[in-house]
Structure 1
Amino acid sequence: MTLPKGSDFQPPWPLRSGHLQTMLSSSGVRRVLLPRRARTVAEGAEHVMVSGGGDVRLSGAFTAQQARPEARGLAVLFHGWEGSVDSTYVLQTGSRLLADGWDVFRLNFRDHGDSHHLNEALFHSCRIDEVAHALGEIAERWPARPMALAGFSLGGNFALRAALQAPKLGIPLTYALAVCPIIDPAEGLFSLEKQAPWFYQAYFMQKWRHSLKVKQSLFPQHTYFELAELKQNLRGLTEALVLRHTDFDSLEAYLDGYSVAGETLRELTIPATIMTARDDPVIPVNAFEQLRLPSNVELDIARYGGHCGFIRGWDMTSFTDDYIAARFNAVADAG
């Protein structure tokens, strides 16, 4: 069986613009134009709570497949920063996997989607332990096998770190796939500030500030930020919240805490794929080229695709659907 490669993605002009791919990936236009089949994973989904360990609660949605007598396996999907289980790319990928016979679980990270009320402490990107704990509970409650994991952007970073932890935690994860994952957070933050067009930082900051305000309104007894802090740029607000709400003593230590750069993934024993685009304006491609990976990890750098875009045409469907489904199906068929 020949699996699709990033080099197979050859979108028509003008969809060869990385900026256009990136902007369309999460735009309202895309949500409107997507065919109905790209939303089927949301129909009849069971909305559930899973434990993140201790008193931590995370929300998610489970959809049982109806395409086959028995499920091909369990697919778990992680969204990106300030995304949710209902992000367009999550719905589209989940719907494709559902049609191929996979049970699908979509997980919300803390303070994403409508889950701000579940935990008093703020989300931050080093909370991998609660995500790994939730993954273990998901595996127990929904036992279809194999269990395969896919994540996008920050969710791709979480997916790779969860795959690193899975064997020692006894999580029966078979395969992990990361689309445009954050590799070196320090470099990515610098890129958003200094290299990427201003509107990317503006977009993320608008969503993040809104999320923080929602959190503050739900827990008025807790001071999450000062108004002056909320007005800072990405670096300034991140540093203020790190020093106020985490055990890290510097922004640099925090960013290093969720880095998977360099040789970090050399100990990854679970088969995995890392897919990105050379024209991604959000995450610099050189971070991927400097990775030191074991033979069981596939690195696939496409020429086009932007940041989590890979949009094929004006129906707004994504090449990543076929890409992820083909690799998940190959894992299931090999088992």
Structure 2
Amino acid sequence: MAQITTTDANEFSSSAEFIPMRGFSNCHLQTMLPRLFRRQVKFTPYWQRLELPDGDFVDLAWSENPAQAQHKPRLVVFHGLEGSLNSPYAHGLVEAAQKRGWLGVVMHFRGCSGEPNRMHRIYHSGETEDASWFLRWLQREFGHAPTAAVGYSLGGNMLACLLAKEGNDLPVDAAVIVSAPFMLEACSYHMEKAFPAFISVTC
């Protein structure tokens, strides 16, 4: 795997700063907006259920039948909190990969594909076992091919933990982490402060 590197924020000019759409400066509204105006999945996903060693499962949404695309470079997407293939960032990235000749796949965390998981165990930002097992299964099942992993938000936090734990032993050639909540306590407090009633009900 390539060496993990970080980007110095000073390399970017002020012109690269994020400017929200007029009328949508609130960060929570920006989060909810894609839910209200959701882009539809523009490809027909190939679904596969992967049985896990502990008797549970995760569902995989491929850009095409992986058995017929073993030779293609692979892009693995780990979604954010309660995300799925239906999340615009997830299916948008898989679609972009497909158009460039890659095999894309979204690994749904336990309980996120529309069906409750079997075991009394859920995913969280530090739970790396399922992703680690999946990546090794991917190489074992379909052979070696260039593999990149992308994690969004909570999935990015999980991927960062996984890279820190396994480093070069992890069967990926590149990794990208997008908008990961590294300061989990502060993020939790911010969400609870913004939506106290909602957080208390869901938790």
Q: One fold, TM greater than 0.5?
A: yes
Gaps of 5+ in 2: 1-11
What's the C-alpha RMSD, in Å, of the aligned pairs? 3.0
Provide the residue aligned with 1:181 in structure 2: 180
Provide the residue aligned with 2:115 in structure 1: 115
Number of matched pairs: 185
Distance (Å, rounded) in 2 between the aligned partners of 1:166 and 1:114: 30
Provide the residue aligned with 2:83 in structure 1: 83
Task: Confirm or deny: 8 A CA contact 1:159 1:178 kept in the other structure.
Answer: yes
Provide the residue aligned with 1:22 in structure 2: 31
Provide the residue aligned with 1:296 in structure 2: none
Provide the residue aligned with 1:155 in structure 2: 155
Distance (Å, rounded) in 2 between the aligned partners of 1:141 and 1:106: 17
SS at match of 1:120: coil
Provide the residue aligned with 1:62 in structure 2: 62
Describe the shift of the 1:10–1:111 C-alpha distance in structure 2 as closer, same or farther (beyond 3 A).
Answer: closer
Task: Confirm or deny: 8 A CA contact 1:166 1:173 kept in the other structure.
Answer: no
Q: Percent of aligned pairs with the same residue?
A: 21
Describe the shift of the 1:165–1:56 C-alpha distance in structure 2 as closer, same or farther (beyond 3 A).
Answer: farther
Distance (Å, rounded) in 2 between the aligned partners of 1:12 and 1:192: 20
- Please report how far the alpha carbon of residue 21 of structure 1 lies from its aligned counterpart in structure 2 after TM superposition: 2.8
Task: Confirm or deny: 8 A CA contact 1:81 1:155 kept in the other structure.
Answer: yes
For 1:105, the aligned partner's letter is V
Distance (Å, rounded) in 1 between the aligned partners of 2:188 and 2:105: 30
SS at match of 1:50: strand
Q: C-alpha deviations, 1:260-299, integer Å up to 9, x for none? A: xxxxxxxxxxxxxxxxxxxxxxxxxxxxxxxxxxxxxxxx
Task: Confirm or deny: 8 A CA contact 1:56 1:130 kept in the other structure.
Answer: no
SS at match of 2:38: helix
**Residues 259-278 of structure 1: pairs in structure 2 closer than 5 A:** none
Describe the shift of the 1:175–1:79 C-alpha distance in structure 2 as closer, same or farther (beyond 3 A).
Answer: same
Q: C-alpha deviations, 1:114-163, integer Å up to 9, x for none? A: 231x4221314143212211221123234462211111111111121222
What TM-score, normalized by structure 1, do the two folds share?
0.48
> Moved runs in structure 1, 4+ residues, more than 6 A?
none
Describe the shift of the 1:59–1:190 C-alpha distance in structure 2 as closer, same or farther (beyond 3 A).
Answer: same
For 1:191, the aligned partner's letter is H
Q: C-alpha deviations, 1:47-75, integer Å up to 9, x for none? A: 1122443323211112249xx9x63x100
Task: Confirm or deny: 8 A CA contact 2:147 2:174 kept in the other structure.
Answer: yes
For 1:22, the aligned partner's letter is T
Provide the residue aligned with 1:172 in structure 2: 171
Describe the shift of the 1:128–1:96 C-alpha distance in structure 2 as closer, same or farther (beyond 3 A).
Answer: same
Distance (Å, rounded) in 1 between the aligned partners of 2:188 and 2:152: 17
Provide the residue aligned with 1:138 in structure 2: 138
Distance (Å, rounded) in 2 between the aligned partners of 1:85 and 1:120: 22
Distance (Å, rounded) in 2 between the aligned partners of 1:10 and 1:54: 43
Distance (Å, rounded) in 2 between the aligned partners of 1:18 and 1:135: 37
Distance (Å, rounded) in 1 between the aligned partners of 2:96 and 2:121: 33
Distance (Å, rounded) in 2 between the aligned partners of 1:95 and 1:15: 29
Provide the residue aligned with 1:95 in structure 2: 95
What TM-score, normalized by structure 2, do the two folds share?
0.75
SS at match of 2:173: strand
Provide the residue aligned with 2:6 in structure 1: none
Distance (Å, rounded) in 2 between the aligned partners of 1:115 and 1:177: 28
For 2:108, the aligned partner's letter is N
Distance (Å, rounded) in 1 between the aligned partners of 2:35 and 2:20: 19
Larger Rg: 1
Distance (Å, rounded) in 2 between the aligned partners of 1:162 and 1:131: 8
Gaps of 5+ in 1: 206-231, 238-335
SS at match of 2:37: helix
For 1:171, the aligned partner's letter is L
- Please report how far the alpha carbon of residue 10 of structure 1 lies from its aligned counterpart in structure 2 after TM superposition: 5.5
**Residues 262-301 of structure 1: pairs in structure 2 closer than 5 A:** none
- Higher helix proportion (structure 1 or 2): 1
